[in-house]
Amino acid sequence: MALIGLFRSRASLQAEILTFRHQLNVLRRKSPQRLTFTSIDRLVFAGLYRLAPGVLAALKIVRPETVIRWHRAGFRAYWR
């Protein structure tokens, strides 16, 4: 797995790091119920997906399909 990291672009690695950091920030919120994502959270995850689609492998607290759905919804809202 470390060998793959040698051939990835710097932007892709930075996007993955940002994804991990944002997931940690979401998990640090004191929430007794299930995780709730704000609009900013959705925007961050969808934006990182647009920057580097490979970040889907780094997502642990949200399903990759959900991020893709958020990205498509934002795209549709933009063109309305």
pLDDT tens string 7-50: 667 888 888 888 888 888 787 776 667 777 888 888 888 888 88
pLDDT surpassing 50 at residue 1: no
> Residues of 37-51 as b/e, b for ≥16 C-beta within 10 angstroms?
eeeebbebbbebbee
- Asked whether 68 and 49 are in contact (CB, 8 A), the reply is yes
| pTM, full prediction | 0.54
- pLDDT number for residue 80: 81
